[in-house]
Each structure stands twice: as C-alpha cells, then as structure tokens.
Structure 1
Amino acid sequence: MSEAPERSWCVKRLDDNGNEFVLRDGLTRAEAERLVAEYQARGHKQSYWVERVPVL
C-alpha cells in the first residue's frame, strides 16, 4: 500500500450527541496529529482523531 499524498489528512471530532465533524483538512499527517494533541490537551469532552481523506 502506497503512502497517501502529503496533504491528505484531516482532523475529526465526535461531539456529545454522536455527531462527527471535520475540523480541518488538507493537512499533513504530522500537522493533523499535532492539532489533535492540542485539542486533547484542552480537556474537552469530545473525541478528536486523525483520518486520511480518500483520494478520488
């Protein structure tokens, strides 16, 4: 499996009601992981994660 294009990652959030949102896209994996770490460090109840954006 080949690596996805450099800027094909996004940060997603799951809120208290089970709704999933894309917070930012067009990121490198490292940028997305840093952003998730920042959000998690704030202590919010929501879940944050990095996901690869499908390449069409």
Structure 2
Amino acid sequence: MTDSGAVLPWLVIREDDNGNRYRVGRYATRTEAEQVADRLGARAHERLYVVERVDRATA
C-alpha cells in the first residue's frame, strides 16, 4: 500500500545487461504495468523490462 491507501501490486523491473535489477514503478493493474514495460523496452538498448506481482505479505 502507498500512503494514500491505494494497492499497487504490479512492479515494472528493469534488468540491465549485467543482470542488475531496478524497480521502475508500481501499478494497480497488470495491463498498466505491461504497457509501461513495453513502452520503455521499445527504446531501451540491452535492457529488459519485466512485470512482477508483489506478494501483499512482503509489500
């Protein structure tokens, strides 16, 4: 949850060519997260953007 109380269980993660992973953003729906990942991936070189769901217990 964020401070506003919104649940944002979908993450966009950037993986670079060295295997490092960075959280890019959190989103309410998988569709929204996938759209962001696709848009970012279209202009990235040697970077992969993946979508992952956050487990509420670990969020």
TM (norm. structure 2) is 0.73
Q: Which runs of 4+ in 1 moved over 4 A?
A: none
User: Counterpart in 2 of 1:35?
Assistant: 36
Structure-to-structure mapping, 1:1-56, within 5 angstroms = 7-25=8-26, 27=27, 28-56=29-57
Number of residue equivalences: 50
Q: Which runs of 5+ in 2 are unaligned?
A: 1-6
Cα RMSD (Å): 1.4
| TM-aligned CA deviation for residue 53 of structure 1 | 0.8
TM (norm. structure 1) is 0.76
